[in-house]
Amino acid sequence: MAKKSKRRGRPPGAKSPAKMDVGQLRHYIEGLEKMLRDKVSEQQAYFEQKLSELSGMTSKKVGKVIRAVTAKGRKGVRKKATPKYRSRKDSSVTWAGRGMTPVWMREEMKGTKLKKDDFLIAK
């Protein structure tokens, strides 16, 4: 049996809102408002149900997360890194070996056979 297609638009015999008198228009608006209230309450009930389902799951996980964050938080600041490299030309210029190679080291190595290991500070 063929499926009956769904009618779109106004039901048969209904007038367009532009051709309705005030009473009919008011009744039409009240019907729309009632339909909207029903839809909103239906959606609200659905989301409240989903939220209550999730709250049971999240309360356990939230407790774990809070304990993990508060228990292992860092306190204080790191100390400054000790220098590992020293310039051969100016002994007051040092580098800890972190980040990009400093300009002074690149310039001293340029045109020579010096390598990074040649600038190491002897311990």
Helix, strand, coil in percent for the chain, rounding step 5: 50, 5, 45
Q: Would you state the pLDDT for residue 96? A: 93
Q: Would you state the pLDDT for residue 123? A: 73
- Residues 11-24 have pLDDT tens digits of 666 667 677 788 88
Q: Would you state the pLDDT for residue 92? A: 92
Amino acid at 41: S
- Which residues touch 91 (CB under 8 Å, ≥6 apart)? none
Residue 71 DSSP one-character state: H
- Residues 22-49 have pLDDT tens digits of 888 888 889 999 999 999 999 999 988 8
Q: Would you state the pLDDT for residue 64? A: 72
